Chains A and B, each alone.
Chain A
């Protein structure tokens, strides 16, 4: 057991710190720091900057752009991105479908998709949830029926985050309606330009347009776009969701949110013992979680997340929500001014605090609701 970084690790950290703070455009990092919304172009620019240096998809296999790093190096990579407010590489590409194609895809699929996925030349959307299949994902009903070499897809997906930007969508579809529900599911890759596919916005309680419905009416999909085995989609989904849990509520970013608001709002809490102890208490829990993330990452072998990754999702989302609540409380009445323009006397963080608090209610629902995580811990880890 030792805490120190080796000399090589320190040099690696300095190199990344320099890269993230000098190569990724300042306006993008400022927007992230303020909790603002990035445009599609900004997200693409940031990820392409990272990809050009080999920092977009380091967890992928080396032959597809990954890095042969130690777990400590992966931690440093993550921590330094967070520290510099660099937007995390698009999760749908870097964390979800990329590793899936690398693990389960054909050689043709790897060649066709992985370079474009790493470089965000293709923006991926996720087609998992349906109106009647949320936490019970295996209850999904969107069908794909074989017609010659093609699949014909009908049905509806929902909660498709940033689907308005999507070029392609990776889908779970029912390919065997007779089989037991998990056994009849397959994964398909679908071009979102395809005829019969329609994206419809959903407005959320923060007023924003972050998620969508995606409708499919006789959408034809080439047979070559099946990923992995026919009716083998459920194990791919579990692989993907396991990876998603690890990155969905990163304590490193949440602690930066606290640090930032501490600096911006010092006069609000400096003489308030209750507020100071809330801040100190949350910082301490975030520290414990960040240390746990380092410890758990070291146990994740062969791309299979440690089952304790459920702890990261569960506690991480709780703390993320608690911090958004703290920020809104610090804003006080100014938090009501969510619709005010730049000309307002009030600070940007105050104007954003209310929508962010409402928006982050999602964190304990998505990525496998926190109740699902408790079920995973109780069943898979504790044997209950």
Chain B
């Protein structure tokens, strides 16, 4: 058992830093990129594909790289560190993960090959007005007529749904259960808009729209959806960790340099103690993120579900704590769009609500609290 990255993993981190970290080293660049559609840098996305990042999680026979969760986590951390708006988490990890888990060999090669090559952006159309964070679909229904399947209903919000070349859509099956379907993004009626952290989401509606079942037609894929969501939760936690790892030193630097009452803010214990508490939150979060990522590497769905709940709870609490305190310790400057810190907190907030916030996961953990004795993280 160890918590250390090996040389190849360090090299991957350096490479991602060299590409994505460099592209957004100046926060102004991110501001400029998210101001206009599609809300991320297409050129950078293509270079990420060239580096092999977009195929990282997928098998080599599907056009991917076949890397493990630790490597994917490293990419997410570095994207989070600069709050890169590129849809790696939602397009590659989540939507691509579903295709990888559920698609036929042919579907995997076609869809994941194009995703890995940067030719196609995927989106997972899943949340429905009034409900979310579940592995099932209710309001969008699938109908079958011979070999032809059609979808009807509304998905919203769909991350990067207006830009997506391919939509992966969850829908209630005629005999119950939830199936997955793929179709060209252009086939659906889409209304895109910006989100509060500068990325994009969309209302996506279907009205008897033809779609292809992902994997075996008519099969209930709730369990697979659930597991891919859990893996994505752990990767979202990696991304949030990266963002928090930016916020703390940035806040400390501000406390050292900003003067009020003729002295640096760091002379006020009321402020430095709060920074110390942010450090505690960050340390606990890092341990939990590393642990959960290693649980994903082991691959058994039940432990992965448990680890996803646990790390999501920790990251939700810590993300709110660190994000809120970073703004407060900065004061008014962090309320502005031109300064990065407020947008980091916005991004942490968005990540918190993407796949289930702390309260959601705590409720599930509380339900299970009588089913085990003491937690043993090392099994």
Interface residues of A (CB under 8 A from B): 1-5, 9, 72, 79, 83, 255-256, 258-259, 262-263, 266, 269-270, 273, 276-277, 279-281, 283-292, 294-295, 298, 308, 311, 314-315, 371, 373-375, 377-379, 381-384
Contacts and interface: CB of A to CB of B under 8 A. Distances in A.
B32 interface: no
B3 A1 contact: yes
Contacts of B240: none
B240 to A, nearest CB: 14
B281 to A, nearest CB: 9
Given A258-B374, A288-B314, A1 B290 contact: yes
A291 B365 CA distance: 18
**A256, A291, A374 — most chain B CB neighbours (10 Å):** A291
Contacts of B379: 3-4
A291 B288 contact: yes
B288 A308 contact: no
A48 B376 CA distance: 28
A1 B294 contact: yes
Interface of B: 1-5, 9, 70, 248, 252, 255-256, 266, 269, 272-273, 275-277, 279-280, 283-288, 290-291, 293-295, 297-298, 310, 313-314, 362-363, 365-370, 373-379
A140 B23 CA distance: 56
Contacts of B376: 79
What is the interface of chain B mostly: helix, strand, loop, or mixed? Answer: helix
Given A3-B294, A382-B279, A294 B266 contact: no
Contact of B375 (A72, A287, A308, A378): A287
A4 B284 CA distance: 21
Contacts of A277: 362-363, 365-366
B279 to A, nearest CB: 5
Q: Which 9 A-B pairs have the closest CB atoms?
A: A259-B374, A291-B287, A378-B272, A288-B284, A377-B276, A280-B365, A276-B366, A374-B276, A277-B366
B209 to A, nearest CB: 41
B7 to A, nearest CB: 13
Contact of B310 (A284, A294, A374): A284
Contact of B273 (A72, A256, A270, A371): A371
Contact of B367 (A3, A72, A276, A374): A276
Given A2-B297, A72-B2, A311-B280, A276 B252 contact: no
A279 to B, nearest CB: 5
Given A2-B1, A3-B379, A378 B273 contact: yes
A374 B273 contact: yes
B284 A256 contact: no
B330 to A, nearest CB: 14
A1 B4 contact: yes
A3 B374 contact: no
B69 to A, nearest CB: 9
Q: Which of B2, B4, B283, B293 has the most CB of A within 10 A?
A: B283
B365 A311 contact: no
A72 B1 contact: yes
Contacts of A294: 1, 3, 287, 377-378
Contacts of B279: 311, 377, 381-382
Contacts of A384: 252, 255-256, 266, 272, 275
B320 to A, nearest CB: 14
A276 B362 CA distance: 9
B235 to A, nearest CB: 15
B293 to A, nearest CB: 7
B293 A374 contact: no
Contacts of B298: 3-4
A194 to B, nearest CB: 42
A327 to B, nearest CB: 15
Contact of B290 (A72, A255, A295): A295
Nearest to A281: B362
28 contacts: A1-B297, A3-B297, A79-B378, A258-B374, A259-B373, A259-B374, A262-B370, A269-B369, A273-B366, A276-B369, A280-B368, A284-B310, A284-B313, A286-B375, A287-B288, A288-B285, A288-B288, A289-B287, A291-B287, A291-B377, A294-B287, A295-B286, A315-B280, A374-B272, A374-B276, A374-B277, A382-B275, A384-B272
B276 A383 contact: no
A285 B314 CA distance: 7
B266 A2 contact: no
Contact of B365 (A284, A377, A382): A284
